[in-house]
Structure 1
Amino acid sequence: MVNGDQNRAGPKKKASTRRKKAAPTGDSEMVQLLTADGERVSHPEYDVSLTDQQYRDLYRDMVIVRRLDTEGTALQRQGQLGIWASLQGQEAAQIGSGRALAKQDMVFPTYREHGVLWTRDIDPIMPFGLFRGVDLGGWDSRKYKFQMYTIVIGAQALHATGYAMGVTKDGKVGGDDGEAVIAYFGDGASSQGDVNESFVWANVYNAPVVFFCQNNQYAISEPVIRQSRTPLYKRASGFGFPGVRVDGNDVLASYAVTKHALDNARHGNGPMFIEAYTYRMGAHTTTDDPTRYRESGEVEAWRSKDPIARMRTFLERSTIGDADYFQSIDDEADQHALDLRERVIALPDPVPGAIFENVFSEASPLVEAERAEFTEYHASFEGSGH
């Protein structure tokens, strides 16, 4: 698998593809290494050289993550989940940035980073327990260096900045083995006070944090034009640190730019803002109806920039992947989804009173009073069929 250390390891077998020097992105400000047509291009500041197997691994990651995400939507529609937040269309931004992380880096996600979670080797069933109402997220954040999903919009940016300030105070910056922190949020969250306050603190304390904004064009139903009249990445300069816009549908560019930003942070060069320019192909969550606020033509225009189709075209043109390979990945993804479905349905229903457990380390009179009141209320339904 691709990770933050592999670009420094040994000689590599280069993919059999010819690169052009200029990336025809249609946006001179946007970093791109793989065009919408699957053509490999180079960039003067950000580039990456991977082995054929690493290119294939990135494709595999995206296909499996999308298949699991599709299963999440299906499970919610069938009443097995209370809600699901889809990442469809954002696979390249998440897999590219996730694979750029070093094992010591810490992640602060929103509630949609299923792809980044996959790159941290966390069992994909974990977020399903949260959306099914079984638990609040069951993974060990210290072991996997991946914090719990954050439902409160933008709060994780403050958490990430505070954690990064602690990393600096602990002296864990200044070299290749230094620690970096990455905070994920969306274009809508960029308007939150918490996020902007995080920028202030991160710059003043030169915190080793990367702010990774997945600009998927919509804050639920509000287009990004109502969030900002200037590209989001330019906000960083007002807070005193660099910002860059990357083609978020390009997994190679997402990897290269994030790796650069994380390396800078580890070496004590402070924060950086990355705007991954992408598109949310589906609904904001399964409670949302995107047909009410965007036209089908817009969706189709973005569908032509699909990150998985783009990577597949690159692999085909470079003779890195053939029909048998692509079929094997599809089959593997289907098996992952089937396994996930069976395990989600088998999850036990939570004990209602468990909500009061592990609230505080010691007993609290208030919590105990609330527990007693809830227990009495719940008992009142016994024998009523409810």
Structure 2
Amino acid sequence: MSLSAPASRRKKAASPAPAILNSGEAVPERPGQILAWYDRHRRRLPWRALPGESVDPYRVWLSEIMLQQTTVQAVGPYFMKFLDRWPTVSDLGRASQDDVLRMWAGLGYYSRARNLHACAVAVLRDHGGVFPDTEEGLRALPGIGPYTASAIAAIAFDRHCMPVDGNIERVTSRLYAVEEPLPKSKPTIVTLAATLLGAARAGDSAQALMDLGATICTPKKPACSLCPVNDNCAAKARGDQETFPRKAPKKSGMLRRGAAFVVTRNAELLVRTRAEKGLLGGMTEVPTSVWLTDHDDADALAQAPVLKDATPWHRRVGVVSHVFTHFPLELAVYTAQVPARAKAPAGMRWVPIATLDGEALPNVMRKVIAHGLG
């Protein structure tokens, strides 16, 4: 961590610099300034209780799981669909994992959906459908890590803790001009973010910083003139606020390639379910070859499903490209048709093309199917 140098206490300057520029210590009035700003400018979000309303821990938890690695705009429709289908955590705990995966399809990072269901089952089974109200109790549940436990504890139960998401990370790193790059600076930023927590209203303090980062202290072109604590921001005083938080260069994974096989039987499509563990676990897909960095077309085609009386494989022009967190992927798409009574190979099944929207298809498979059927 690199903070501004301590100020000399021997003599007071004629025009004193803001306190945060002279010390790594907290500025006492800042939590109040941020809360006052929040009371005027808070965002209206479907999972957020309005002033005077009681907070629903189920909504807080559901939104926090969905918002991991995903934007507010993308999450909104999925949140409302889940809430309409399963209004309480007990309702979700009684659902099947397959139904949850189908509802989740398209939101990405599918391990979250499996953990979501496992957590709901645990809350129903072990806690009578009531979420634990402490960080420790929440962390014992499936799929809830340190950040999520802190966020739920603060927002749903007003526990005195400060969760640090990407927005809070950015606000804090700018206020204190934290020079050490992420991810090494994460513990330092967590400690500094706690200085922005007032004596009361912990949940509002956290949400205020989230909103400040989302609407004012944005990654590019932050609206510093509108910030309630701009007089105490070290990065703004230096004029390099857009360079924070510092980040180590990302290591992009090597390109992987493979083949996907789109097989139709009249108005039906051949699909299978991926293994529970690993990437896209439990999701629906068309058959594919193994995805490799040293891909060979002939080897990939040799992994095509064996189909009786099928037409020859036809390779579609172009490839389907998709980027996962750790690597980019390119898939060549092969198509074939089989007679009306053809049986599905072992471990596969036929589904009506008209009902594909109800299948737990990840985005990459939706791209493949669109390319193969287009």
Q: Which TM-score band applies after superposition, normalised by the shorter structure?
A: under 0.3
Please tell me whether Structure 1 or Structure 2 has the larger radius of gyration of its CA atoms: 2
Q: TM-score, normalised by structure 1?
A: 0.27
Relative contact order, higher structure (CA 8 A, sep 6+): 1
